[in-house]
């Protein structure tokens, strides 16, 4: 059976794959690409009375389309015998359901603004307890625990400067401060609760912008270089990766270290060999426009997800790195100068969430590149949908977790942590 490959479609007649850009457009109302909208409806400059009627008609049309496409995707998943068609239909159902997400709970933290956070995947386990470690611009680390709707919060420790990143692997939390001097906090919850802090020499590493943890190895993005700490348990053994520009984004994939710089270069280092040897990726695609790299991630094992400070958001095929043509481009992301902005991928690597400098969270399918849009709803009154809401504060960080109740999205906006249960709605039915 043909597999569904990102950026390609299967032609039954010719029995081969073709690029999605060459796929003929289908005018039928049952066309799968319309499973969820790809853009917001345009506002019209007409008289208010006519505009209200038009908006009601547009809202009604969107509701009908949404229900129809949900039904069509559901029928396709049941009727088709091809696994890849069934998988696509189920993906469309997930997108339509997620677009209506509005059920949330919020927790304020006594700080002017959250700069980084990390939550464990226990949001609905056993007693419903969850744990979150959040940092702020004053250097304080806040530890939250309990039911998401009634979490206790305590100020644990101060690292002396703004918390630049918090990440986790297994039973380990790692928090870094910007400096100077930069400090690293390591929390290990097994077999016993243990906290340790060690500082970094300013001559070795300063201005820590970001960090990524893989097993017990920690990759730091700093001024003019990246820095690999080989074992966070003992705090010894390190490697320096020279980049010549501030490293704003990092990703560690086993022994391969990826760095994104202020000057727009993406480099890859193999930490098993001479770390002075680096491979520059994507033909300096973003250096030409001086677009600082703000986020790097690897999805589907061979796709490099890249975001820049000028609003570029795209994936690249790491199996064919000779060119710089993106595999997918996610249109509609809003950014022209802000860093950092929250960006998250769900654990199944099906959907991408990105916060804009306009305080709005947007989502795209990592399978098709389509934007996920919240449909209008005239039948009930509900909280503003996640993908339509403008948050009160700057969104510095986000995280998606899998729980017993399904996936949930954490959003740090200003001093508040919001928890959204993806695909679930808060609805008040009109009498």
Minimal CA–CA distance to 343: which of 299, 403, 383?
Answer: 299
Mean pLDDT to the nearest integer, 206-227: 95
Mean pLDDT to the nearest integer, 158-181: 93
Verdict on whether the full-model pTM lies above 0.85: no
> Which residues fall within 8 angstroms of residue 194, CB to CB, at 6 or more apart?
187, 188
4 or 90, higher pLDDT: 90
CB 345 within 8 A of CB 297: yes
Run of H or E residues at 307: strand 303-308
Confidence class for position 351, pLDDT limits 50, 70, 90:
very high
Instruction: Please check the confidence at residue 210 and state whether its pLDDT lies above 80.
Output: yes
Instruction: Please check the confidence at residue 384 and state whether its pLDDT lies above 80.
Output: yes
Instruction: Please check the confidence at residue 155 and state whether its pLDDT lies above 80.
Output: yes
404 or 395, higher pLDDT: 395
Most confident listed range (153-167, 312-326, 375-389) = 153-167
Run of H or E residues at 221: strand 217-222
Q: For residue 348, count other CB atoms closer than 10 A to its CB.
A: 12
Torsion angle, CA of 271/252/230/172, rounded to 10 degrees?
-170
Instruction: Please check the confidence at residue 238 and state whether its pLDDT lies above 50.
Output: yes
Confidence class for position 349, pLDDT limits 50, 70, 90:
very high
From residue 276, alpha-carbon distances to 213, 244, 393 in Å are: 21, 12, 41
* Interatomic CA distance for residues 363 and 370, integer angstroms: 9
pLDDT at 47: 39
pLDDT at 121: 63
CA angle 363-369-267, nearest 5°?
Answer: 90
DSSP state, 347? Answer: T
Average pLDDT, the chain: 82
141 or 180, higher pLDDT: 141
Name the least confident of 60-64, 146-150, 256-260: 60-64
pLDDT at 151: 86
Q: For residue 310, count other CB atoms closer than 10 A to its CB.
A: 16
pLDDT at 3: 65
Instruction: Please check the confidence at residue 383 and state whether its pLDDT lies above 70.
Output: yes
* Interatomic CA distance for residues 200 and 205, integer angstroms: 6
**Which tens digit of pLDDT belongs to each residue from 81-136?**
567 677 777 888 888 888 888 888 899 999 989 999 999 865 444 455 788 999 99
For each of the domains in the chain, give its residue range(s) and CATH number, in order of start.
Answer: 68-99 (no CATH), 107-422 (2.130.10.10)
CB 213 within 8 A of CB 229: no
% of residues, the chain, pLDDT over 90: 52
pLDDT at 24: 67
Minimal CA–CA distance to 173: which of 194, 151, 154, 199?
Answer: 194
pLDDT at 80: 57
Give the CA radius of gyration of the chain: 23
Mean pLDDT to the nearest integer, 243-262: 96
From residue 219, alpha-carbon distances to 2, 167, 311 in Å are: 38, 11, 25
pLDDT at 29: 35
Confidence class for position 190, pLDDT limits 50, 70, 90:
confident
pLDDT at 104: 87
Cα four-point dihedral sign 413, 148, 403, 211: positive
**Which tens digit of pLDDT belongs to each residue from 7-38?**
777 777 777 777 776 776 543 333 333 334 43
**Which tens digit of pLDDT belongs to each residue from 47-82?**
334 444 444 444 444 433 444 444 444 445 555 556
41 or 351, higher pLDDT: 351
Prior bond to 191 cis, omega within 30?
A: yes
């Amino acid at each position: 059976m043909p597999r569904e490959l990102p950026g390609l479609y299967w032609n039954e007649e010719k029995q081969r794959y073709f690029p999605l850009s060459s796929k003929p457009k289908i005018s039928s109302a049952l066309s799968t690409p319309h499973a969820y909208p790809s853009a917001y409806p345009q506002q019209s400059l007409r008289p208010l009375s006519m505009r209200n009627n038009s908006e009601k008609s547009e809202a009604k049309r969107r509701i009908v389309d949404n229900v129809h496409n949900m039904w069509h995707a559901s029928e396709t998943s049941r009727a088709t015998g091809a696994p890849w068609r069934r998988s696509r239909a189920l993906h469309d159902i997930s997108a339509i359901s997620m677009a209506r997400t509005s059920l949330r709970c919020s927790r304020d933290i006594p700080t002017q603004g959250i700069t980084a956070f990390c939550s464990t995947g226990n949001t609905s386990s056993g007693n419903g307890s969850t744990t979150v470690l959040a940092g702020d611009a004053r250097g304080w680390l806040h530890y939250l625990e309990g039911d998401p709707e009634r979490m206790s919060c305590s100020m644990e420790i101060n690292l002396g400067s703004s918390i630049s990143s918090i990440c986790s692997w297994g039973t380990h939390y790692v928090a870094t401060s910007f400096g100077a001097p930069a400090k690293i906090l390591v929390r290990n919850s097994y077999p016993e609760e243990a906290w340790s802090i060690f500082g970094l020499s300013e001559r070795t590493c300063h201005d820590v912008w970001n960090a990524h943890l893989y097993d017990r190895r920690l990759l730091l993005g700093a001024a003019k270089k990246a820095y690999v700490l080989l074992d966070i348990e003992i705090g010894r053994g390190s490697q320096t990766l020279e980049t010549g520009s501030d490293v704003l984004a990092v990703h560690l994939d086993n022994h391969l270290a990826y760095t994104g710089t202020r000057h727009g270069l993406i480099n890859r280092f193999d930490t098993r060999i001479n770390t002075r040897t680096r491979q520059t990726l994507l033909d300096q695609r973003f250096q030409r426009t001086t677009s600082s790299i703000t986020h790097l991630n690897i999805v589907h094992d061979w796709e490099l997800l890249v975001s820049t400070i000028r609003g570029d958001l795209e994936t690249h095929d790491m199996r064919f790195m000779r060119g710089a043509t993106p595999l997918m481009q996610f249109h509609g992301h809003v950014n022209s100068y802000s860093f950092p902005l929250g960006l998250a991928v769900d654990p199944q690597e099906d959907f991408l969430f990105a916060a804009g400098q306009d305080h709005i969270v947007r989502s795209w399918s990592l399978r098709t590149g389509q934007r996920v849009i919240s449909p209008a709803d005239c039948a009930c009154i509900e909280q503003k949908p996640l993908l339509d809401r403008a948050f009160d504060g700057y969104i510095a960080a986000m995280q998606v977790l899998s729980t017993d109740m399904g996936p949930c999205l954490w959003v740090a906006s200003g001093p508040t942590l919001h928890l959204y249960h993806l695909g679930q709605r808060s609805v008040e039915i009109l009498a």
